[in-house]
Amino acid sequence: MRRLLAPRLIALFVLGWALFSFPLIQLWDREASLFGLPLLPLGLFFVWAVLIGVLAWLMERDP
Amino acid sequence: MTRKILIADDEPNIVISLEYLMKREGYEVLVARDGEEALAMIAEHEPDLLLLDAMMPKKTGFEVLQAVRGQQSAMKIIMLTAKGRDTDIEKGRALGADDYVVKPFSTRELVDRVGRLLGLSADDNPE
Amino acid sequence: MNLPISLVIGISFAYLALLFAIAWYGDRRAAQGRSIIASPWVYALSIAVYCTAWTYFGSVGRASVEGVWFLPIYLGPMLAMILAWVVIRKMVRIAKNYRITSVADFIASRYGKSPLIAGLVTLITVVGIVPYIALQLKAISAGYGLLIGPAETGLVEAPPAWWQDSTLYLALALAGFIILFGTRHLDMTERHEGMVAAIAFESIVKLMAFLAVGLFVTYWMFDGLGDLFGRAMADESLARLLRFDHGGSQHVYSQWFALILLAMLSVLFLPRQFQVMVVENVDERHLKRAAWVFPLYLFLINLFVLPIALAGLIHFGPGQANPDLFVLSLPLAEEAMALALFVFIGGLSAATGMVIVESIAVSTMICNDLVMPALLKTRRFRQRAGGDLTRLLKTIRRIAIVALLLLGYLYFYLAGEAYALVSIGLISFAAVAQFAPAALGGMYWKGATASGVLAGLAVGFGFWVYTLMLPSIAKSGWMTTDFVEYGAFGLAWLKPEALLGLEGLDPITHSLFWSLFGNIAVFIGVSLISRPTAREASQALLFVDVFERAGGREPVFWQGRARAEDLLALSERFLGPDAARELFVEHARSIGSNSPDRMPADARLVQRVETRLAGTIGSASARVMVASAVDEEPLELDDVLRILDEASQLRAYSRALEDKSRSLEQATEELKAANEQLKSLDRLKDDFMSSVTHELRTPLTSIRALTEMMRDEPDMPTSQRREFLDIMVAETERLSRLVGQVLDLARIEAGHAEWHNSDVDMHSVVMQAVGSIGSRFEDKGAELKVQGSRSAKPLRADADRLVQVMLNLLSNALKVIPDQGGRVEIDLRDEEAGVTVTVSDNGPGISQAEQREVFDKFRQVGDRDQHREGTGLGLPISRQIIEHFGGRMWVESEPGHGATFGFYLPRG
């Protein structure tokens, strides 16, 4: 388990970096809204929350 | 008064021999084929002496011994065993057997011991 | 409407007093060994010192001008914390092992404990961090002004003369406060438990306050997020804040990237972050939780930034109020005075938290890495041998704290009003980012050299000064802006914000690119062409391979002669007599000596003293002091390799020893198991012998008794005599059968049995057995049925033995079937792989417990009468025979419904 933790974290880091960078970040950048909220901030906060969730899961399940 | 002897053994041929021997010596003979039957007959007939085989089905001789010695009883007990191991003899004595005879036994010796335990000398044999 | 000055100042001081109480309590508990900060939650909250007044006030300001662009400063730490367990844990481990107490020390220690590098890093830090401290002062001062002042909007007014400026007194008050609880004692590892507790508390306060104002604005002043965003999206000037590219710049994504990178590096190397994350770390496992709790904290504190910014713009109208102070001016506009005060206290938390940790961290660096080396150079200081220097160290740090805050005030006074909060913060970030190549490179690349670091830092810092610092000063009006607009010496390619004609980037991205690019390129380039000194090489090994040296058997890179008295005297000077004594006793215990006075002054002791001193005066200064107190032989590169070799041999030796003892242990276990097995075999043999004895004695008993009775009774009736003689014959037969079977079994078990193998047809084996026992079934009136056919292929086996098995099974069955209506069925199933034979009876059956024992020797099952001729060896022998031919034998039975014995024999 512990041996796999570092590669998993690095993979998550790369994924997070990609999600917050061009060109993926451009996907949110449009004049649209969801539940009355603008898409771009909503998307950024959504990705952020998912990253925290996955990170917490990875960290807490490792003994 | 005729003394009652209960023979408790599961080997029919040994029972036949003992029964013949004890009857010949003038005792009244009862026979039990296993431990439970032995206990039942002790309670019912109150024999004066028990010839008890160590290895029996349902209840072993040791278990019978334990059960009998738990009660107040003047009954004498001679253990018969085919396993001449010292530990068995020790165990029998500790559980309150009065005497011990190893199979195959000498008939004369057995008769002597039975007589001694019942307080009879060879002379006043009721025969 | 405003609040009375006395109330604001009174509450502020009360709050600071509360902080002091928490810190005092934390220190007291630490002294008692009952730490209140030994929790991953407290650790995570203390890391949230990252959120300063810059976050608290500046994020809203930035969001109201540039929309979502306030976010990269928090997304960077989010990404950095994903790797916390990999990178920060390594920093923590290194810092703990070598008592490293600051970023400067960390980098200098890695590169051969170079005082030059330590000094340069400290210098860059001080220059870079002063604007940041100014920012905090500016934020508190502006907030204070808004609370008590006449204007509701917080727009800039002319600053007062410095002696009338409350900000100056604020700075001095803070300095006094920090001195009170930051430098009261010189700790063993420069840890400040009380401070950490106070900082964690401040993190809670600032988050609560910010969420409170966010909820107030969103749900009290407006009808929730939908209403707020709906109105913003309807207004074109506000809607652009919700989009990415509002400037039309082609480099918008590289700016975004640059800001994330900048924040990612800053969260690692800002002095205060290094202090709380690395130096103050209690247990490196706390990183596991902090790694996600800290990003979660950032997430929460940023949730309402956009709503507040939009609300401020909608409420006041663009340009009508200072957006940096929206968090205060919005509640004030609604006359929510208590909330405004709470928000001000939250801002005070954010600002004081940063100033406290930053100034403690930087004052340590100034003392250890700038002042100490200078002092050590002066002859007078060195010659004044003896004397406790701990008070001097404290004094230096206190002066450094006051100086830092005054510098911050100076910057605020001179340049503060020209810039928004965020711009000031980013200037500091860009300076600190210069440490990343040296520190990260040093942790993972053994080839990095001190020359590379010095050159890289100089270049990076130079670019930073020229492209960011100087223009910021110029724009504040203290220098001519000519060089910014036309380039130095009028050369356009030297324009600081468009170097070599690189235009289109914003100043931060532009500066970050040039400084980091130059830094990294020179760092790597010079490292590759320069050779490391022996000490650099040895430190490189200790840093890069820190996780491989767990277990305390690390190599000691020191050679020479030393005297314990000299080392003790040296320790006393810097640690105080008590701590020095304790250090020596501790070392004596660790090497198994009971007297600290008669210890060899070997390399390990020298190293221990040096490491301990490093915790107090920094590794570079500690190196200089130790070198002056002992008689050292210079360390050559060959020596480093030799020492490393010895250490690894030692490690290999101890590993071999461990292996040996493990295999010995294993052998012992195996021997024990074998012994147990022998014992149980012995018991089995005893049991077997005792069973055999019993089985032999039983028939002998009858025979002897009957013989003696016939002897003693010559006139026994003939009929009686005949009966007895019949019994004797039967018992004699039983005896000989028993002896035969015991011998048979013994032969089979010992492998001495003779097997006459031939091609066997199982059907004819069955029929042969049936033929020989059939008459006994007829005698008992029992039915014997055979099912199954003659098989196509023969088996290779001993036919007589198989007949023996069949006869055993059949005679057992015959014994148990009832006298009337007895029935036995033999079933023969012939398959390609082998033959299965089953013998089923309609006897009483065998209970589950007895089924398990039925193949044991002398284990006769059921009523004794039914198997008078049985020996208790038939089934064990049968099973041995079947198993000899590779088959298996089993029994199935349901009590009351008969039993089925079966065996399977494979073909071939």
pLDDT digits (tens, 9 = 90+) for C784-794: 888 887 766 78
> What's the sign of the alpha-carbon dihedral C100, C106, C110, C116?
negative
Tokens of C688: 């077997």
CA–CA separation, C613 and C242 (whole Å): 54
Of C233, C244, C245, the CB nearest to A33: C233
Lowest-pLDDT range, C78-87, C424-433, C453-462?
A: C424-433
- Number of CB pairs, chain A paired with chain C, less than 8 A apart: 92
pLDDT of residue B1 exceeding 70: no
Residue with tokens 């007959």: B41
Architecture, CATH, for domain C647-745? Orthogonal Bundle (1.10)
Instruction: Put residue C872 in one of left, alpha, beta given phi > 0 → left and psi -120 to 50 → alpha.
Output: left
pLDDT tens digits along C656-692: 777 788 888 888 888 888 888 888 878 777 777 777 7
Q: What is the signed CA dihedral for C314, C316, C320, C324, rounded to 10 degrees?
A: -80
Instruction: Please give the residue that has the higher pLDDT: either C383 or C572.
Output: C572
Q: Does C697 touch chain B (CB under 8 A)?
A: yes
What is the rounded average pLDDT of the residues C888-900?
85
Categorize the per-residue pLDDT at A15 as very low, low, confident or very high, splitting at 50, 70 and 90. Answer: very high
Buried b / exposed e along C638-662 (16+ C-beta atoms within 10 A):
ebbeebbeebeeebeeeeeeeeeee
Categorize the per-residue pLDDT at C737 as very low, low, confident or very high, splitting at 50, 70 and 90. Answer: confident
Instruction: Give the residue from C344, C342, C399 showing the smallest Cα distance to C367.
Output: C399
Give start-end residues of each CATH 3.30.565.10 domain in chain C.
Answer: 756-906
Tokens of C334: 């609604």
Lowest-pLDDT range, B83-87, C651-655, C763-767?
A: B83-87
pLDDT of residue C111 exceeding 70: yes
Measured in angstroms, the CA of C765 and the nearest CA of chain B are apart by: 35
Helix axes of C252-269 and C72-82: crossing angle, nearest 10 degrees: 60
Instruction: Please give the residue that has the higher pLDDT: either C478 or C214.
Output: C214
Q: Where are the alpha helices (DSSP H) in C317-378?
A: 326-333, 337-365, 372-377
What pLDDT does residue A1 have?
47
Instruction: Please give the residue that has the higher pLDDT: either C908 or C700.
Output: C700
Instruction: Please give the residue that has the higher pLDDT: either C102 or C148.
Output: C102
What is the rounded average pLDDT of the residues B16-44?
88
pLDDT of residue B118 exceeding 80: yes
pLDDT of residue C608 exceeding 80: yes
CA C691 to chain centre: 62
Where are the domains positioned within chain B? 4-117
CA–CA separation, C797 and C535 (whole Å): 81
Chain C partners within 8 Å of B105 (Cβ)? 701, 704-705
pLDDT of residue C420 exceeding 70: no
What pLDDT does residue C104 have?
92
Categorize the per-residue pLDDT at A2 as very low, low, confident or very high, splitting at 50, 70 and 90. Answer: low
pLDDT of residue C347 exceeding 80: yes
Chain C partners within 8 Å of B16 (Cβ)? 702, 727
> What's the sign of the alpha-carbon dihedral C76, C82, C84, C87?
negative
What pLDDT does residue C452 have?
92
Mutation for testing the C interface, residue in B9, B11, B15, B17 having most C CBs under 10 Å = B17
Residue with tokens 């810059």: C54
CATH H-level superfamily of B4-117: Response regulator (3.40.50.2300)
pLDDT tens digits along C223-259: 888 888 888 888 878 887 887 765 556 677 888 888 8
**What ipTM was assigned to the predicted interfaces of this complex?**
0.95
Q: Which chains neighbour C (Cβ–Cβ under 8 Å, 3 or more pairs)? A: A, B
> What's the sign of the alpha-carbon dihedral C279, C285, C287, C289?
negative
Categorize the per-residue pLDDT at C844 as very low, low, confident or very high, splitting at 50, 70 and 90. Answer: confident
Chain B partners within 8 Å of C853 (Cβ)? none
What number of residues does chain A have? 63
Contact predicate C269/C103, CB 8 Å: yes
What pLDDT does residue C678 have?
85
Tokens of C453: 């670091």
Where are the domains positioned within chain A? 2-61
Contact predicate C199/C46, CB 8 Å: yes
CA angle B1, B16, B37 (to 5 degrees): 75
Architecture, CATH, for domain C756-906? 2-Layer Sandwich (3.30)
Chain A partners within 8 Å of C306 (Cβ)? 41
- End-to-end distance of chain A based on CA atoms, in angstroms? 8
What is the rounded average pLDDT of the residues C70-78?
92
Q: Where are the alpha helices (DSSP H) in C48-85?
A: 53, 59-66, 72-82
Chain C partners within 8 Å of B20 (Cβ)? 709, 720
Q: What percent of chain C has pLDDT over 70?
A: 89
> Could you tell me the strand order of the sheet in which C899-906 lies?
C783-787, C823-830, C834-841, C899-906, C888-893
Which span out of A32-41, C267-276, C533-542, C864-873 was modeled with the highest average pLDDT? C267-276
Instruction: Give the residue from C262, C260, C298, C278 showing the smallest Cα distance to C128.
Output: C262
Chain C partners within 8 Å of A36 (Cβ)? 225-226, 229-230
Residues of C with CB under 8 A from a CB of A: 68, 71, 75, 78-79, 81-83, 85-86, 225-226, 229-230, 232-233, 239, 242-245, 253, 256-257, 260, 288-289, 291-292, 295-296, 299, 303, 306
> What's the sign of the alpha-carbon dihedral B83, B84, B88, B92?
positive
Is A in contact with B (3 or more beta carbon pairs below 8 Å)?
no
pLDDT of residue C380 exceeding 70: no
Contact predicate C314/C326, CB 8 Å: no
Of C78, C239, C253, the CB nearest to A48: C78
Measured in angstroms, the CA of C704 and the nearest CA of chain B are apart by: 7
What pLDDT does residue C106 have?
92
CA–CA separation, C107 and C563 (whole Å): 30
pLDDT of residue C777 exceeding 90: no
Categorize the per-residue pLDDT at C526 as very low, low, confident or very high, splitting at 50, 70 and 90. Answer: very high
| A52/C299 Cβ within 8 A | yes
| B103/C698 Cβ within 8 A | yes
pLDDT of residue C386 exceeding 80: no
Residues with Cβ within 8 Å of residue C766, at least 6 apart in sequence: C786, C806, C826, C828, C837
Chain A residue with CA closest to C63: the answer is A41
Instruction: Give the residue from B58, B53, B31 showing the smallest Cα distance to B42.
Output: B31
Angstrom distances, CA of residue B121 to CA of B3, B49, B124, C49: 14, 16, 6, 108
Chain C partners within 8 Å of A1 (Cβ)? none
What pLDDT does residue C188 have?
47
Lowest-pLDDT range, C158-172, C401-415, C470-484?
A: C158-172
Of B20, B57, B108, the CB nearest to C864: B57
Tokens of A33: 């809204």
CA C436 to chain centre: 24
What DSSP state is assigned to residue C601? Answer: -
What DSSP state is assigned to residue C235? Answer: S
Categorize the per-residue pLDDT at C572 as very low, low, confident or very high, splitting at 50, 70 and 90. Answer: confident
What pLDDT does residue B125 have?
46
